[in-house]
Structure 1
């Protein structure tokens, strides 16, 4: 059995995440299911993509990554299972963009032959298709993830499609000198797309020049600082504060190593 690592924006107030896990338990009894995150900002694909990028190096090869951040549920966006060193199940909307920089997909399949959960033991009505529902996490992605977790072949999920056509967000990670603010963590720290943080240097964000240091404590309380974050990307924070609010930062804002 392969473990399933589950990420969503479902939150904890509604039963959505629990229902998805219940379906996984029904379809693949005994398969380990691990929660990565469920309190991500609703429908925020950039934040979710970064969360998967953060987690991926610690997920075992062969694991099933179930990602459900899906603002286009029920539309023409595709539902997919992609295979790299791990298995990825979710909407084809760019959610896996950054994870695939670390683990590029080699094959991909559309989820077109996945039966919905059926707690009453009744077959789906004639003409039923997954696109008629708004809870694909329960009705489509969980059954597909369960099938892969049991070691069953992905060919049974639907037709194979070229990996080159999989959706990706317009994001690029690199050494700079130019980049942008990718997203923010829950503390208000700005995560950039830059892979370098030269100590003693400076980064420009808007009209500000922010010193690059090893950690928050190397500047005074309330002062801005840039540093290499735990995911290997340059981040901008405020010692004992919220950089997003204090500095008026926004996603997509350009940054530049000075």
Structure 2
């Protein structure tokens, strides 16, 4: 049985995460489910794409990556499962863009043959349904199917991997890139793959030194460094770079 690694923007205040896990347990009893996180900013595809990029190299190959950040749920956007060295299940909306730089998919399938789960119990006049919880109704059953090692062809039609949606993002060695997203500490994660120690980075009109870590500058000072995901990040020691420096997603970043 393949383990399932689950990422979403569902949060923990509502039962959505637990319901998805319940469906996984119903369809694939005993499957191991690991939470990659559920506190992503709602509908933030760039943040979700980066979270998968950072996590993927540490997941066991062959595992099922179930990811749900889905502003287009219930619309014509496709629900898909894609196979690379890992399996990917989620909306075809660009969420897997950066993960697929590390692991280009070889095959992909739609999920129109997936049977939604059947609820236990009910009362007269009530019926399950709705079109806004594909995490429960499509993605969890598909992930359980793949976790059991069953053939992906049973999920739906095969589609060309070239037709899968990608976000307009590119990782680059420089000298120019952009702010990709922010983590919960307010650090800016960029699309730059490298920057020489002792050099400088320019972003938002600020000229920022490249160091090894936060503690190599004074408290309240800005610093650029190679982050845990291998991308250049910009932080403020004991502060929040996003607010302190006035940074935003898509802002140009340049190596000096």
TM range (shorter): over 0.9
Kept in 1: contact 2:204–2:245 (CA 8 A): no
Match 1:192 to one of 187, 190, 200: 190
Identify the match of residue 242 of structure 1 among 240, 243, 248.
Answer: 240
Give the structure 1 partner of residue 149 of structure 2. Answer: 151
Unaligned runs of 5+ in 1: 123-129
TM-score computed with the length of structure 1 as normaliser: 0.95
Deviations 1:45-75, CA, capped at 9 Å, x for gaps = 0000000001000001110000000000000
Deviation at 1:120, TM superposition (A): 3.3
Give the secondary structure class of the aligned counterpart of 2:193: coil
Cα distance in structure 1, aligned partners of 2:206 and 2:238: 19
Output the TM-score relative to the length of structure 2.
0.96
Whole-angstrom distance in 1 between the partners of 2:154 and 2:228:
38
5 Å-filtered alignment, 1:78-97, equals 78-97=78-97
Unaligned runs of 5+ in 2: 123-128
Cα displacement (A) at 1:17: 0.5
* Paired residue secondary structure (1:5): strand
Aligned residues: 250
Matched residue, 2:225: 227
Distance 1:104 1:200 in 2: 34
Query: What is the aligned partner in structure 2 of residue 58 from structure 1?
Result: 58
Q: Residue 75 of structure 1 aligns with which residue?
A: 75
What pairs up with 1:1-258 in 2 under 5 angstroms? 1-120=1-120, 133-258=131-256
Instruction: Tell me the alpha carbon deviations over residues 93-147 of structure 1, each in whole angstroms, 9 at most, x when there is no partner.
Output: 000000001111000000010001002389xxxxxxx9x6110000000000000
TM-align CA RMSD: 1.1
SS class of match (1:42): coil
